[in-house]
Amino acid sequence: MKYRIALMPGDGIGKDVLDAAQIVLDKLALDAEYLSADIGWEFWRTEGDALPQRTIEILKRCDCSLFGAVTSKPKEEAAAELHPDLQNKGLVYRSPIVRLRQMFDLYVNLRPCKAYPGSPLNYREGIDLVVFRENTEDLYAGVEFHPVPAAVRSALEANSPGMKAFQQVDSSDMAISCRIITRQGSQRIVRRSFEYAQQNGYKSVTLVEKPNVVRETSGLITREARKIAAEFPAIPLWEANVDAMMMWLIKNPLDYGVMVTSNMFGDILSDLAAQLVGGLGFASSGNIGDRFAVFEPTHGSAPKYAGQYKVNPIATFLASRLMLDWLGEKEKAAALEAAIAGVIAAGKVRTYDMGGPSSTLDMARAVAERL
Ligand code: NAI
Ligand code: MG
């Protein structure tokens, strides 16, 4: 077999959509061996680890992975749902997908948002946006404090005039999440976005940040982005503030193509972009590093629909298409995208979110038939 691909359905509708993806991938006759791997809430509850070591070992032996979705819950609830034998052992729940991104250094979060003609959910026809979200740094680095330890507090007081405003606040009444941005992290995400624009014929790259207010972090990204942009003279770098971008994307979504941003802003920006082209049933993403990648629909486990084969698998098909593209299977990737677009345009098979009665597997069979 040419490829080894890990399938991680996870929780809830993760299983429904990966079953659907398997039908489509089988039809494409990709020369691949599929290995299923455990991830998610069930393994947190029963083993105290949502990303068991055996899964990590499987992933290390694979070229890439297709992931469904996992359930996550806040700290206290997570601790309470642990199997009685595992309670009070100091186990702390951490999102397995965030861990995967950090463990395999999957620094690109690629989120294409294209309005396929004929979808009743398109905000406007012709939208074709691609978000490059940095995937390992920023507020998601996990450097957080509550209460704030004395050493952290005194270091901040000694170095940041901004801390003066908090002089009267007790450390136990304060929480701090660090926005960590590095030069290298900024360079590589911006470079990947320009390469993508060049390879896929986009006419510009828009940097979406807020350097006028978060001066140091957004400032660093902006300076590095300008340097990288100079390596791609044919593609202009546009700069937009993240707040203004939310309005412009609603007003003039056709003006934009590739957008690049840091982790938190990218999380927000990509959800807005996804809603312009149909929302969670259409939103796919790739978590991509230099050697490994995990592809996923961006939606969660939607527990109320779990096992009902009701939700839209198009997001997962589009994630599969990103996977094929990343593997270098350009023809199969293009064929899959054309089949998805064909089914959307024909308008006969529509899941509930598109206003129709079709099931998850009806959609899979319709796409497979076109292939
Ligand atoms: P969700 O994305 O699971 O679902 C929200 C609602 O969106 C659903 O109830 C459904 O109405 C709709 N929806 C989602 N996927 C759809 C699809 N493929 N087709 C049609 N409609 C769809 O978000 P929610 O309810 O906030 O979270 C549920 C669980 O998923 C939580 O435990 C959350 O932490 C987790 N989650 C996991 C993610 C991941 O695995 N990457 C991402 C987001 C949430
Ligand atoms: Mg999100």
**Residues less than 5 Å from ion ligand 2, measured at CB:** 267
The pick from 8, 275, 280 for probing ligand 1's pocket by mutation, whose C-beta has the most ligand atoms within 8 angstroms, reads: 280
Average pLDDT score over residue span 3-17 = 98
Q: How far apart are CA 120 and CA 193, in angstroms?
A: 30
Query: Which element (helix H / strand E) includes 180?
Result: none
Q: What is the CATH number of the domain that holds 346?
A: 3.40.718.10
Average pLDDT score over residue span 126-131 = 98
Who's near 37: CB < 8 A, 6+ residues apart? Answer: 6, 7, 8, 54, 55, 58, 59, 65
Average pLDDT score over residue span 88-104 = 91
**Does 228 map to a domain?**
yes
Give the distance (Å) from ligand 1 centre to CA of residue 13: 8
Give residue 88's pLDDT band: very low, low, confident or very high (50, 70, 90): confident
Residue 32 has pLDDT above 90, yes or no: yes
Share above pLDDT 70 across residues of the chain, in percent, rounded to a whole number: 100
Do 98 and 19 share a structural domain?
yes
CA distances 69 to 63, 132, 308, 310, Å, are: 20, 21, 15, 15
The amino acid at 302 = A
Do 269 and 135 share a structural domain?
yes
Average pLDDT score over residue span 22-49 = 96
Closest residue to atom 42 of ligand 1, CA basis: 300
Do 65 and 15 share a structural domain?
yes
Q: What is the CATH number of the domain that holds 203?
A: 3.40.50
Give residue 188's pLDDT band: very low, low, confident or very high (50, 70, 90): very high
Do 159 and 71 share a structural domain?
no
Residue that terminates a domain, selected from 276, 304, 320: 276
Residue 308 has pLDDT above 90, yes or no: yes
**pLDDT value of position 142:** 85
**pLDDT value of position 7:** 98
**Does 236 map to a domain?**
yes
Do 359 and 300 share a structural domain?
yes
Ligand 1 contact, 280 CB (< 6 A): yes
Q: Which two tokens stand for residue 88?
A: 């009070």
Q: How far apart are CA 290 and CA 294, in angstroms?
A: 12
**pLDDT value of position 76:** 87
Do 227 and 160 share a structural domain?
no
Ligand 1 contact, 302 CB (< 6 A): yes
Average pLDDT score over residue span 41-52 = 96
Q: Are 345 and 366 in contact (CB under 8 A)?
A: no
Do 232 and 300 share a structural domain?
no
**Does 112 map to a domain?**
no
Which ligand has the nearest atom to the CA of 111?
2
Do 337 and 224 share a structural domain?
no
Q: Average per-residue pLDDT in the chain?
A: 96
Closest residue to atom 43 of ligand 1, CA basis: 300
**Residues 26, 30, 31, 32: what is their CA dihedral angle, to the nearest 10 degrees?**
-70
Who's near 88: CB < 8 A, 6+ residues apart? Answer: none
**pLDDT value of position 74:** 86
**Does 257 map to a domain?**
yes
Residue 23 exposed, middle or buried by CB count within 10 Å (0-12, 13-18, 19+)? middle
Residue 339 has pLDDT above 90, yes or no: yes
Residue that terminates a domain, selected from 221, 252, 276: 276
Residue that terminates a domain, selected from 243, 276, 309: 276
Do 323 and 196 share a structural domain?
no
**Does 173 map to a domain?**
yes
Q: How many domains does the chain have?
A: 3
pTM value is 0.95
Distance in Å from the first CA to the final CA of the chain: 21
Which ligand has the nearest atom to the CA of 270?
2
Do 172 and 185 share a structural domain?
no
Q: How far apart are CA 108 and CA 119, in angstroms?
A: 28
Do 83 and 171 share a structural domain?
no
Which ligand has the nearest atom to the CA of 296?
1
Q: How far apart are CA 256 and CA 217, in angstroms?
A: 24
Residue 1 has pLDDT above 90, yes or no: no
**Does 148 map to a domain?**
yes
Q: How far apart are CA 279 and CA 299, in angstroms?
A: 9
Do 51 and 133 share a structural domain?
no
Give the distance (Å) from ligand 1 centre to CA of residue 21: 18
**Does 339 map to a domain?**
yes
**Host domain of residue 166:** 144-177
